[in-house]
Amino acid sequence: MTAVPAQQFSTIGWPWRSGNDFRLLDGAAEFLPRMLEAIDAAQSHVLLEMYLVSSGQVAGAFIEALRGARARGVRCCLVFDGFGALALAAGDRRRLEAAGIELRIFNPLRWRNRLRNFLRDHRKLLAVDGELAFVGGAGLSDEFAPGPAGWRELMIAIRGPVVADWQRAFAATWRRLGPELGLAQGASEPLPDGASGRVSLSEAREHSLLARGVVRRIDAAHTRAWIMSAYFVPSRRFRKALRRAARRGVDVRLLMPSARTDHPWVRHAARRFYGRMLRNGVRIYEYLPSVLHAKMIVCDDWLSIGSSNLDRWSFRWNLEANQEVADRRVADAAARLFDADLAWSEALSRRHWPQRARLDRLRERIAGWLDRWLEGWRRPR
């Protein structure tokens, strides 16, 4: 497989950085302990940006780790989303504040905000001491606790020069909510034999560089375009790119949620597009064991993993954050994780798809109508 130069896809925004180490963390049993260990080892500062935060076992473990870090003199700065953190108990907030942990809330819900209440910080980022970062789709909620019923999720651990960009990204969000972060902007030395990586952010109400970049990657793919997404209601341009890639012989695979999903109507809205994609050679699978919440794209030797769902709602209303990697070794490691999940998934049949239940077709039509209605809303100002 021949890697496409990262510079070919450079856009205005975050630069590509060489000399990074990227480690994919396969499931909560792997990434939660690693994230807690990083907080326990922090010496200077901990930066945490999260969407879904609800009181329970997982959030409690992070609160205790943060309190311990603060007791050692480590500065701890947290950004929680005003809607995603509604289930964080008042007592837990008081514990954070009493420990001297700095907490800022992104866009608290208010009646006067009207449609602006839909603007959410959906990013998931942990950065420690300017040396280590974790990016992915997991939240601080018991849905992500290890176990057979836990939601399927992935994170990526990052070391190297790109970590400084993640700290800058956090600082920009922090600045929107109050005074400057005021941390020194250091930079790690490139690691020998390290991989190239780039911060990829999506801002609500703007044309998404992240979305456009994925479409360009699919259009340029030679061998594979594999997508794992929790909520997948793609634009017409995105669907056409997938169909074109499959027709020219690219191995196009979609790993989608099964009936085990926390948003069944989003699933129905996506399924109305499956028939045409199947007829054009796109291979579609539904993940069976639990709720699929991971978001990952692999195109040839390029990988994007993070918080962004590939749907219009995410790109219109949410702040999203993905890590891009241009490296064959990392992309192949991601493909192996993808393949392992396919073993627990059901492949949809092009032949049998038209024979699905009438009730399912009705749900898809209703969900499609709702999706078009939401798409018709004017952009908030």
Domain boundaries, given as residue ranges, for the chain: 13-193, 198-381
DSSP-derived pairing of the beta strands 224-228 and 296-299: antiparallel
- In words, the CATH class of domain 198-381 is alpha beta
Considering only CA atoms, which of 143, 152, 155 is closest in space to residue 34? Answer: 155
Phi, psi (5° rounding) for residue 322? -125, 155
Tell me the C-alpha distance between 174 and 321, whole Å.
15
Tell me the C-alpha distance between 240 and 236, whole Å.
6
Per-residue pLDDT tens digits for 229-269: 998 888 888 999 999 999 999 999 999 999 999 999 889 99
Same CATH topology for 13-193 and 198-381?
yes
Q: Which CATH superfamily is domain 13-193 in?
A: Endonuclease Chain A (3.30.870.10)
CA 55 to chain centre: 21
Quick count: other Cβ atoms within 10 Å of Cβ 288? 14
- Taking 50 as the pLDDT cut, the residues of the chain under it are 1-12, 378-381
DSSP-derived pairing of the beta strands 283-287 and 251-257: parallel
Per-residue pLDDT tens digits for 30-58: 999 999 999 999 999 999 999 999 999 99
| pLDDT on residue 186 | 75
Q: CB under 8 Å to 251, separation ≥6 — which residues? A: 223, 224, 225, 226, 283
